[in-house]
């Protein structure tokens, strides 16, 4: 066999092997993948079908029970169903308020006549701004945030409903939730060898639930033996503190007043920095009109007292002011002023000063007012030195060793005393020298 025949035979074998080999193509791979996906989808559908049937049965049973409960409480079925879903914590039935919805709500909002006059004026201003605005984008940010707050408050009132229904559902919710938490903590203490405590109390006197507590035996022993109170008394004191701020349990009157005053001042300063954008801004209580209204063109709206300073308020008044600053939404807040509002405030301030209702605090006048003052030169230094009184010298006698006369300077204006002291020192020096001579003679 020649070399050409051998090469030809080898090539034929390679070609035959290539034709008989199974080559995977893209179409074949996609077909297998689609088949696997269809199979997985069928399995998933069959499994979910069982869940759907069980869930539908549960929903029908739940709706039937809600309908019976709504009939017994004489409330709307849809309203009560929303409460049930919300208390379950698994379904969110309210969307976040956006700018457009807030603007639409404020346009058609009705002002409550029982509100404070300042609050009514603020809401009326927002209504005017919302009606004049072509879109929510042109409304200033601080006014838009107030509109969103009003819409959130309206949604909250709709969710809570009447006070009677809320009380019943609230008491049951508190009891059941505390019961579940207590069981979880008890299981945690047994499983992980820990000691836990949970106390649930009211924050509003209008609520009807009583203090509830769970305490590990070691912690209960600590409260009864170390603190010297029973668990019921301990929970009751905590409830009084949370409802009425009876901080005398831990602080005296001065500490409570200082803490409340510091909190009010800090909240006012924080709001001023936020509205002005100046991190170095600080509140001027005594010169509020000059430093805040005229200079920064902002004002503090809703201050609940006639005395415009936390320095003169008591503990209860400071707590009221702090609650007004920190409530949601706050009833005391900072607001920017237009030039017209600044002019009106200035005119009102001038009228109060003229009538004597407001006494402006003035600085104390200098003693050298009207006199010419210049730089401190060498000539003035010499003149001051000449006008000053001469120093007085006083003799100091040491207690140990030999008596010595030491002259020291003192701030006195009597020059005759210095001459007397000098003569006295000379006499003492002569007497000491004579004593030395006598000693020499004895030797």
Per domain, the residue ranges of the chain are 58-90, 94-160, 182-244, 253-355
> Rounded to whole angstroms, what are the CA distances from 80 to 58, 69, 83, 162, 165?
17, 8, 5, 12, 10
Closest CA to 392 of 420, 412, 366: 412
At 122-137, the pLDDT tens digits run 899 999 999 999 888 8
The per-residue b/e assignment along 242-255, b for 16 or more CB within 10 angstroms, e otherwise, is: eeeeebeeeeeeee
Taking the CB of residue 299, how many other CB atoms lie within 10 A of it? 19
DSSP secondary structure letters along 57-104? HHHHHHHHHHHHHHHHHT--HHHHHHHHHHHHTS---SPPP-HHHHHH
**Mean pLDDT of all residues in 189-204:** 90
Whole-number pLDDT of residue 233: 85
What is the structure's pLDDT at 379?
Answer: 75
Quote the DSSP letter at residue 390: P
3-7, 114-118, 156-160, 188-192: the lowest-pLDDT one = 3-7
pLDDT tens, residue by residue, 148-169 = 989 988 887 776 655 545 566 6
Predicted local distance difference test score (pLDDT) of residue 200: 92
Q: Which two tokens stand for residue 366?
A: 């200098």
Average pLDDT of the chain is 76
Whether the per-residue pLDDT at 390 is higher than 80: the answer is no
Check pLDDT > 60 for residue 441: no
pLDDT at 228: 86
Q: Is the pLDDT of residue 367 over 80?
A: no
Percentage of the chain modeled with pLDDT above 90: 13
Q: Note the pLDDT of residue 186.
A: 92
pLDDT value of residue 439: 47
More confident residue, 114 or 423: 114
| pLDDT value for 289 | 84
Its pTM stands at 0.36
């Amino acid at each position: 066999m020649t070399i050409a025949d051998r090469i030809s035979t080898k090539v034929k074998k390679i070609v035959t092997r290539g034709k008989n080999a199974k080559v995977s193509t893209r179409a074949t791979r996609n077909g297998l993948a689609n088949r696997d996906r269809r199979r997985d989808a069928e399995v998933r559908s069959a499994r979910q079908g069982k869940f759907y049937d069980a869930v539908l049965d549960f929903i029908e049973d739940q709706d039937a029970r809600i309908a019976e409960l709504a009939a017994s409480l004489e409330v709307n079925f849809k309203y009560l169903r929303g409460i049930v879903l919300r208390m379950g914590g698994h379904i969110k039935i309210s969307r976040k308020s956006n700018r457009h919805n807030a603007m639409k709500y404020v346009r058609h909002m009705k002002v409550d006549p029982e509100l404070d006059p300042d609050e009514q004026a603020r809401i009326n201003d927002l209504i005017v701004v919302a009606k004049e605005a072509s879109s929510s984008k042109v409304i200033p940010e601080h006014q838009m945030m107030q509109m969103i707050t009003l819409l959130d408050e309206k949604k909250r009132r709709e969710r809570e409903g009447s006070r009677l229904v809320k009380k019943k559902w609230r008491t049951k919710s508190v009891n059941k939730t505390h019961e579940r938490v207590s069981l979880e903590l008890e299981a945690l203490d047994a499983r992980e060898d820990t000691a836990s405590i949970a106390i649930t109390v009211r924050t509003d006197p209008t609520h009807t639930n009583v203090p509830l507590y769970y305490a590990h035996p070691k912690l209960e022993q600590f409260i009864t033996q170390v603190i010297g109170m029973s668990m019921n008394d301990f929970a009751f004191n905590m409830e009084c503190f949370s409802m009425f701020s009876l901080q005398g349990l831990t602080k005296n009157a001065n500490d409570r007043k200082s803490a409340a005053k510091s909190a009010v001042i800090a909240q006012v300063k924080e709001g001023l920095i936020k509205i002005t954008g100046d991190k170095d801004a600080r509140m001027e209580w005594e010169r509020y009109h000059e430093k805040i209204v005229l200079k920064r063109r902002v004002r503090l709206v809703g201050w609940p007292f006639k005395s415009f300073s936390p320095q003169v308020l008591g503990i209860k008044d400071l707590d009221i002011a702090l609650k007004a600053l920190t409530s949601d939404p706050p009833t005391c807040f900072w607001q920017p002023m237009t030039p017209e509002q600044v002019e009106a405030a200035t005119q009102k301030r001038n009228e109060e000063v003229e009538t004597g209702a407001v006494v402006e605090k003035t600085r104390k006048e200098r003693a050298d007012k009207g006199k010419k003052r210049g730089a401190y030169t060498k000539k003035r230094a010499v003149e001051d030195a000449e006008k000053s009184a001469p120093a007085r010298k006083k003799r100091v006698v040491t207690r140990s060793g030999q008596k010595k006369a030491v002259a020291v300077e003192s701030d006195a204006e009597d020059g005759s005393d210095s001459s007397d002291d000098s003569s006295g020192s000379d006499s003492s020096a002569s007497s000491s020298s004579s004593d030395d001579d006598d000693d020499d003679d004895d030797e």
